[in-house]
């Protein structure tokens, strides 16, 4: 399996795959990715709210071999991976291919803000 390396620069046509579906084979999120991705989006949205998209999705692998729900922010063809006190950037195509991303749900800043206020948490939202 190729090693996923932080980088920037190529384009990819991402698809909105619909709602994140609960799956008994997928572990619940254990880290702070939902909170950190939301906070990053909030910080950058003041300058360019239409440029950044919050994404919730299922990843087949990240730091372990168990699939689980995850959150990140996309800026065009770049993924901002924010969790565990780190901020890494990856090419979107590489990120999706390497991590086996599925069942994504995409939120513009205003949509994410409304969902967070209504639910009282950072996600995932139904």
Segment 70-108, tens digit of pLDDT: 999 999 999 999 988 899 999 999 999 988 898 899 999
pTM, two decimal places: 0.74
What is the structure's pLDDT at 16?
A: 37
Measured between alpha carbons, how far is residue 63 from residues 55, 81, 84, 99 in Å?
19, 13, 12, 10
Q: What is the largest CA-CA distance in the chain?
A: 40
What is the structure's pLDDT at 42?
A: 93
Residue found under tokens 């770049």:
78
3-state secondary structure of 98: helix
Q: What is the mean pLDDT of the chain?
A: 78
CA–CA distance, 11 with 58 (Å, rounded to integer):
21
- For the chain, the distance separating the N- and C-terminal CA atoms, rounded to the nearest angstrom, is 33
User: pLDDT tens for residues 109-120?
Assistant: 999 999 999 999
What is the structure's pLDDT at 84?
A: 86
The two structure tokens encoding residue 69: 């729900």
CB-count exposure of residue 47 (10 Å: 0-12, 13-18, 19+):
exposed
Residue 6 pLDDT > 50: no
């Amino acid at each position: 399996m190729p090693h996923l390396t932080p980088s920037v620069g190529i384009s990819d046509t991402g698809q909105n795959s619909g709602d994140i579906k609960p799956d008994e084979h997928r572990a619940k999120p254990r880290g702070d990715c939902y909170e950190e991705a939301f906070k990053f989006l909030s910080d950058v949205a003041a300058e360019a709210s239409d440029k950044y998209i919050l994404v919730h999705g299922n990843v087949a692998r990240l730091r372990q071999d168990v699939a689980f729900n995850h959150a990140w922010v996309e800026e065009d063809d770049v993924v901002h991976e924010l969790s565990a006190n780190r901020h890494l950037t990856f090419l979107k195509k590489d990120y999706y291919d390497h991590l086996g991303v599925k069942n994504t749900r995409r939120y513009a800043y205003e949509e994410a803000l409304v969902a967070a206020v209504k639910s009282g948490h950072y996600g995932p939202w139904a």
